[in-house]
Structure 1
Amino acid sequence: MSESVSFEIKGQVGWITLTRPKAMNALNREMLEAMTARLHAWENDNQVRVVVLTATGTAFCAGADLKAGGTPLPGEKDLLDTIVTFFDTLRVFPKPVIAAVNGLALAGGLETVLCCDLVIAAQSARFGDAHSNFGVFPGGGGAAVLPRKIPENIAKYMLFTGDALPAQDMKTYGLVCEVVADAELLERVQALGDKLAQKSPLVLRKMKKVADEAGDKSRADALRQELLELRNHQRSYDMAEGVRAFAEKRKPDFKGY
């Protein structure tokens, strides 16, 4: 376990909280390995249907802890390898992932947000790539993924200038779903997580898969994949349960298969 990140399950929502406020929650190897391991554990934990990533202090995450990079022994992974493994695990996690952005999300912090499905931001939160400020090149999606999430010219502005933009602007550009008062962030995200946890885990998992892959397909191919998923889904318990519950005017009891 890492002293720099904590894990908690509230209802059916798994919370990952970065707890290095004095270091602006910069990511070190210990944190990254702990979070990657916990995501793998929660992937097959039926109690956890939604995951939230947030932090303590005034920063969500200032990126990689460059001071902790070090020089690995031959054959060992370096800090970049560890970060990429974490990002890859978070990006393809089969359950909904919500970023509860409490403050500054810079460089690798912004790239962490880009790996999440939904972004709820506190009013005081700000988002920036920041790599250009230090002559560092992004490696977790800053240049590759940001232009897919927001307008290309805004992405380039953020990349080139290194400036951090306020949460409300990022909502306008489409990265942030909601902006809430700082004091209401955790409560709002828990409520959203609780809402998603009541849906069919199977439906959400398949929706996420199709939506994530649609951008790399033609519209015809994406529609074909969606139809194939529907054909398979028609054989599921959750669809049968949902239809029964609708007919019986009751709340469905989804199982995830």
Structure 2
Amino acid sequence: MSESVSFEVKGQVGWITLTRPKAMNALSRDMFVDMSAQLRAWQDDDAVRVVVLTGTGPAFCAGADLKAAAGGAPPPGEPDFLDTIIVFFDLLRAFPKPVIAAVNGLALAGGMEAVLCCDFVIAAQSAKFGDAHSNFGVFPGGGGAAVLPRKIPHNIAMYLLFTGDALPAADMKTYGLVSEVVADGELVARAQAIGDKLAKKSPLVLRNMKKVANEAADKTVADALRHEVLALRNHQRSYDIAEGLRAFAEKRQPEFKGY
């Protein structure tokens, strides 16, 4: 495993922490490969119900390692650097469990794109967000141009894309990308507390809510509502809904199993 990223499970919350602060947590090929492998493992691990992505040092992530990106082509038939990037972003975006971005500092280029793949964002007061691809003549490939304008007002997205500037966490909360801004020293504890809270919910409910919500934007309202009702019909046969109703009647906390 790469020494530039660490994996830890606290309670039922899996933490992915970028540990390359001197390089602003720039993402290497090995980091992408290792994070993808860990996501696949946690996807099938019932003991992990929530994932948090964060960084160490002054940056959350400054994006892909441009030195690695400028390297030579791999041997024929082997995935290149862009392939490993796309695999990771696809896994993170489609991960069936809640994913929280705990943004400790600068989130730029691929770092911003990783944030866009998460379900919601908790940011430290000192955090800043920007696209930055235009600063280096690099084109985004993880959602900078395709997804950012769907997450925040279009004119703000275009400002970030064109200028390469970064905006503070408080501004990005106003624009809707950040859910909560906390003091720098409280970020990890706050993300863990939210993760612990989500871990007590029905994994089945959260998984299906995420699926319906993520697919709703590409459907008419009528189709999205139909999808929701079909998901509810299936959910009515589940253990978790029966357990939730029993717990309500018995005035106790439910113990959900995710099926």
Question: What does residue 11 of structure 1 align with?
Answer: 11
User: Which residue type is aligned with residue 3 of structure 2?
Assistant: E
**Unpaired segments ≥5 residues, structure 2:** none
User: Which residue type is aligned with residue 4 of structure 2?
Assistant: S
Report 1:180-191 matches (<5 A): 180-191=182-193
Query: Cα offset for 1:60?
Result: 0.4
Cα deviation, 1:193-245, whole Å, max 9, x if unaligned, reads: 00000000000000000000000101000000000000000000000000010
| Identity across matched positions, percent | 80
User: Which residue type is aligned with residue 196 of structure 2?
Assistant: D
For the pair 1:45 / 2:53, whether they are aligned, the reply is: no
- SS of equivalent to 1:60: strand
Report 1:1-257 matches (<5 A): 1-69=1-69, 70-71=71-72, 72-257=74-259
- Normalising by structure 1, report the TM-score: 0.99
Cα deviation, 1:45-95, whole Å, max 9, x if unaligned, reads: 010000000011000000000101322122221111110100000000000
Query: Cα offset for 1:2?
Result: 1.0
Runs (4+) of structure 1 exceeding 2 A deviation are none
Cα deviation, 1:22-44, whole Å, max 9, x if unaligned, reads: 00000001100000000000001
User: Which residue type is aligned with residue 242 of structure 1?
Assistant: G
- SS of equivalent to 1:148: helix
Cα deviation, 1:141-192, whole Å, max 9, x if unaligned, reads: 0000000000111100100111000000000000000000000000000000
- Normalising by structure 2, report the TM-score: 0.99
**Number of residues of Structure 1 aligned to a counterpart in Structure 2:** 257
- Provide the alpha-carbon RMSD of the alignment: 0.5
Query: Cα offset for 1:109?
Result: 0.3
User: Which residue type is aligned with residue 89 of structure 1?
Assistant: L
